[in-house]
Structure formats: structure tokens, C-alpha cells
Amino acid sequence: MSNTNAQDQITDLFIIGGGINGCGIARDAAGRGLSVALAEMNDLASATSSASTKLFHGGLRYLEYFEFRLVREALIEREVLLKAMPHISWPMRFVLPFHKDMRFDNTTPTSKLLTTIMPWMKGRRPAWLIRLGLFMYDSLGKRGILPGTSKLDLASDPAGRPLDPKFKTAFEYSDCWIEDARLVVLNARDAEARGADIMTRTKVTGATRNADHWVIDLEDITTGATSQRRAKMLVNAGGPWVADVLRQKLGQNSRESVRLVRGSHIVVPKLYDHGRCYFFQGTDGRIIFAIPYEEDYTLIGTTDADHPDPQTAPTCTPEEQDYLINFASQYFANPLSRDDIVWTYSGVRPLYDDGASSATAATREYVLTLNDSAAPLLNVFGGKITTYRKLAEAALEKIATVFPDLPADWTAGVALPGGDFPVGDVAKLTTKLAQDYPFLSPYATRRLIRAYGTEAWDVLGTASTAADLGQAFGATITARELDWTIAHEWVRTGEDYLLRRTKLALRLSDEERAAVDAYIRSKAADLAA
């Protein structure tokens, strides 16, 4: 997946970072005719971009911080993205239970303003304020697919059954689910198909800035081999490492920085049978979600805690586990305990450092800075997964000052690999796959469509029996599928496949996970040779 004579070429754009921002920019730039190379020091989406809450959402709570532009952009983007990737994203209804006697810390600009005007409201978000927020949420963005807000009687609606009986009323609104790590991989695949050179497990160790180009020093972290690339422009999309790359690897002085905020999640066995998500308000002014996850589980998150250092791997601390357990137990009829947790994960969100007093209040806006005093450098600070495509368009607007006469924006409405079918046709596609491959289990059929969309037929190929798919590893994983991901999706370890391309690690024993890892490493070594 690399060019043999790359060291002798000058690439238009060299991107550092294989998260959603880097891969989104690579796809957009390659589609406009620029030559693009991207280096990721680990696997694609190995950090923040695989550790989100898995939602495309406008950010209802950001309205309390007056971030109307960000919310409007994200709300509009939801349906643009749904149409481009209907296999890995889908609409979801969110249930916001309301209880008139619940009190909240007044920590947001909106609540502080309102309690100054109406002191009697201190500690509460009354129903009218929630309705107003949801009305704005429905109105700020264009909606053609997603239904608007409605009110629920929890005594009769199935959404009320798993909740504490004290909750009588709820508001229900729309947002969307997204398979975050797959989104990154699909952007990288589309970028590669348009000519980009995507290099995983390739670390940028330094870069020298000249008047008209950069010389980038690279190290293959698997073999230790070193190389150099040249590029007219450098894009620093290092995510949590953006400031470290800027100062340590590129030797640039800058006041711009990020605030590292850790978001932790827990996964527990399935808590309810319907397919809706819960939006819970905490007495500390924060919110969490409880979301249907991988058919048999419920995902609960997230926390907001300042994280000291990008070199420190984020983990869900015992304190964060207790926080999420206690938070959710205020709402569910059957309280949770740590014994219910089957998996945890954490990510570090690299928010633009705006000097906010708390991690929760820090802006989710992205900031792009262009330094063109010599060979140009674009730094990407912040951002959120919902607006990654708009961030890429904004980046290309700045890049166009260096490469004039670039074609116009093009990514809106253009399907990602496997997503070339109408929104709402997943069931139809699943039925067709089951007819064409009748030996698949219903779960395998659903899973393959959700992972690969129309490319599920490419994965399965000419197989006419289960035996044709090769070795079975458990949880419907076969050698045929692993071979395909190794060849097409940069899978090099069991973790790449089991925790990022899929979440099937949840369904395998230690021995089965080891067998998957051994198979992938062996096949990947053969491919490299």
C-alpha cells in the first residue's frame, strides 16, 4: 500500500495522523487532485477516533454554552453523513426522562443567566427550558430523515419499563449512531482509491522546513526501517499529540495548544429490549448516555476529566467506573454495580484550549491555523466526529491558498465504500445477502451488512458453503473475512480487527482472541514479504 519511489517524489500534501481528521482531510484532498501521503504511528483510529460515544449528534448540551454555530453545523451534518454511510450509521431516538424534583448544579452560562433572572429556579432545568432546548435542536438544523421531538408517557411507553417508576414523563428526540473506527478506515480506503498513500505503523520522527518544501523523517515501527519523504505542505492532524508534534517533531514555536480531556465508558450486559438511547441528566450538571450496543450489551458514558499527558494511555479509572455506575443507577429501576461491567474503554479528546474553567465547559469547536512563512504548515486543533467532513472542507479552504484553482467541495452526498445504497435499505440488503449465502447465520448476515454494506459480497466472494470461508474462529469470524481486512483495511494484529474494525473481542475467549491474532500476524507477515 505504499509507493516504491516515494522518497524521490515531492508530494503536495503530507498528513500526520490517521484519526478521523487526518483521514477525512486526506480523502477530500485526494478527491480534488492533490497528491497526498498520510502517516499514522499506530493503527488507523487507534486513539481518540475509536474511543468516542459512537454518536453523530448536534450536541444538545452545547446549547447551554451558546455554541449555536457548532450545534447547527453538526445538526445539518447528521443527515449528510447518514446518506453517505447508511451501513455504519443509522438514526436513533433518544429518551430524556424528566423529574420535576431533580436538582442540578448551575454550572453552564445558560443556567447562571436564568437563575440570576429567576432565583427560584436555582438547581433545576424545568420542563419548559428542556422543551425550548429541544425546539431549538429541531429547528437549527435541516431535517428530512430524522423525526422531531415528542413527549412520552413513561407509564405506558416501553421506554419507561427499565426506569425507576418515579420518572413519569420523558422527551424523545433524534440523533444518530456511528461505528467510529470504521468511519476512519472507510475514509482512508476512499482516499487511497483516489490516489493517497496511507502508511500505518509509520512514525514521524522529525521534519525539516525549507523555503518551498518539507523533508519528513519516518520510521517503520514494525521493522525499524527509516526513510524520508518530501512534501510541499504539511498537515499536523496529530490529535492528542498535535502540540507535541508541533513543538517536538517540527520544532515550531506556537502558543496554540490543546486541552486533553479523558472520556471513559463502560459496557454492561443488555439493560433493556428496545432500540432507543437514554439521555440522563446528572445532579452535577453533566449528562451521560445509555445506548444499545452490539446487540447484547448497553454502552454507558461518558466522563469528562482533564488528562495530564498524551503519552499516558487513558484508562477508565475505578472512580470513573463508580461515577458512571452511580449516575446510571439514579435512573434505572435495577441499580448497577461494578460486577456488571464486562468492558471499559477510554479516549482522550484533544479540545482546543480556550481557557475554560472545566473540562466539561471547554469548547468543542475546531481551530485550524496556517503558517506559511516558509513551506506551509496547517495545524488541526480540536474537532468532533460529527463535523469531521466540515473540518476537512475548512482545511481544504486554507490549503487552497497554497494550491490555487482546486476543485470545489465534493464530499457531501458521495458514498463511502459499501455505502452506495439508500438510507433505510439495510433490512433489504440483509435479506439479499441471506438469500445469496443461505449458510450464514442471521447474526453473521446482520453483522456483515453493518460492517461492509454492499462490499459484503466482495468479502464472501464465491463461497457456496460455510467451509468455503475457511477456518472459523468463533463469533462468525472466518479466515475469508480476516484475509479481506488484511488486504484492504490495514489490519495487522488481532486488536486491529477485534477492537477497531469490529468489537468482536466481546464475544471471544482469551484463547479465541489469541488464535485470531496469530492468524492475522502470520498472514500480514506473508503480505509484507
Three-state DSSP class for residue 220: strand
Beta-sheet pairing, 36-39 with 10-16 = parallel
Could you tell me if 239 and 47 are in contact, meaning their C-beta atoms sit under 8 angstroms apart? yes
**The pLDDT of residue 376 is above 50:** yes
Mean pLDDT of 262-289: 94
Mean pLDDT of 115-126: 48
Mean pLDDT of 245-257: 86
Report which of 190, 166, 231 is spatially closest to residue 7, judged by C-alpha positions: 231
**The pLDDT of residue 111 is above 60:** no
**The pLDDT of residue 337 is above 70:** yes
Mean pLDDT of 183-191: 98
Lowest mean pLDDT across 332-346, 349-363, 442-456? 349-363
C-alpha cell at 348: 482522550
Mean pLDDT of 191-197: 98
> What backbone phi and psi angles, to 5 degrees, belong to 28?
-60, -45
- Provide the pLDDT for residue 114: 43
Mean pLDDT of the chain: 91
**The pLDDT of residue 106 is above 60:** no
- Provide the pLDDT for residue 102: 62
- Provide the pLDDT for residue 103: 59
C-alpha cell at 399: 490549503
> What backbone phi and psi angles, to 5 degrees, belong to 300?
-125, 125
AA letter at 177:
W
C-alpha cell at 404: 490555487
**The pLDDT of residue 119 is above 50:** no
- Provide the pLDDT for residue 127: 77
- Provide the pLDDT for residue 109: 54
Residue 301: strand pairing partners: 265, 289
The C-alpha cell 495545524 sits at: 379
- Provide the pLDDT for residue 335: 96
Interhelix angle 426-436/442-452, nearest 10 degrees? 120
Return d(Cα 39, Cα 236) in angstroms, integer: 10
Residue 296: strand pairing partners: none
Lowest mean pLDDT across 227-241, 277-291, 444-458? 277-291
Report which of 135, 137, 132 is spatially closest to residue 75, judged by C-alpha positions: 137
- Provide the pLDDT for residue 121: 37
- Provide the pLDDT for residue 4: 46
Could you tell me if 407 and 32 are in contact, meaning their C-beta atoms sit under 8 angstroms apart? yes
Q: pLDDT higher for 310 or 412?
A: 412
- Provide the pLDDT for residue 163: 98
Q: How confident is the model at residue 429 (pLDDT cuts 50, 70, 90)?
A: very high
**The pLDDT of residue 2 is above 70:** no
Lowest mean pLDDT across 168-172, 249-253, 291-295, 392-396? 249-253
**The pLDDT of residue 499 is above 90:** yes
| Residue 91 CB neighbour total at 10 angstroms | 18
User: Structural domains in the chain?
Assistant: 6-48+181-257+363-399 (3.50.50.60), 258-352 (3.30.9.10), 426-528 (1.10.8.870)
Lowest mean pLDDT across 1-15, 286-300, 483-497? 1-15
Return d(Cα 391, Cα 213) in angstroms, integer: 24
- Provide the pLDDT for residue 125: 65
- Provide the pLDDT for residue 10: 96
Lowest mean pLDDT across 100-104, 114-118, 154-158, 468-472? 114-118
- Provide the pLDDT for residue 115: 46
**The pLDDT of residue 61 is above 80:** no
Handedness of CA 145, 149, 150, 152 (dihedral sign): positive
Return d(Cα 336, Cα 323) in angstroms, integer: 11
- Provide the pLDDT for residue 107: 58
**The pLDDT of residue 140 is above 90:** no
DSSP 332: B
C-alpha cell at 55: 454518536
Return d(Cα 333, Cα 338) in angstroms, integer: 16
C-alpha cell at 39: 502517516
Lowest mean pLDDT across 15-29, 91-105, 358-372? 358-372
**The pLDDT of residue 113 is above 60:** no
- Provide the pLDDT for residue 268: 98
Query: How many residues appear in the chain?
Result: 529
Sorted by sequence, the CB contacts under 8 Å of residue 426 that are 6+ apart come out as 86, 87, 90, 449, 450
C-alpha cell at 304: 469528562
Return d(Cα 184, Cα 136) in angstroms, integer: 30
Residue 449: strand pairing partners: none
Mean pLDDT of 230-243: 96
Mean pLDDT of 45-65: 86
Q: How confident is the model at residue 282 (pLDDT cuts 50, 70, 90)?
A: confident
**The pLDDT of residue 265 is above 60:** yes
Q: What percent of the chain lies above the pLDDT cut of 70? A: 91
- Provide the pLDDT for residue 363: 62
Q: Report angle CA 53, 313, 349 to the nearest 5 degrees.
A: 40
Mean pLDDT of 60-65: 71
Lowest mean pLDDT across 62-66, 86-90, 365-369, 452-456? 62-66
- Provide the pLDDT for residue 112: 53
Half-sphere exposure of 264 (CA within 13 A, CB side): 21
Could you tell me if 94 and 404 are in contact, meaning their C-beta atoms sit under 8 angstroms apart? no
Mean pLDDT of 476-500: 98
Mean pLDDT of 5-25: 91
Report which of 452, 450, 446 is spatially closest to residue 189, judged by C-alpha positions: 452
C-alpha cell at 435: 438469500
Three-state DSSP class for residue 200: coil
Lowest mean pLDDT across 138-152, 171-185, 206-220, 318-332? 138-152
- Provide the pLDDT for residue 65: 65
**The pLDDT of residue 308 is above 90:** no
- Provide the pLDDT for residue 309: 86
Return d(Cα 237, Cα 395) in angstroms, integer: 11
Mean pLDDT of 323-351: 96
Mean pLDDT of 295-312: 92
**The pLDDT of residue 446 is above 60:** yes
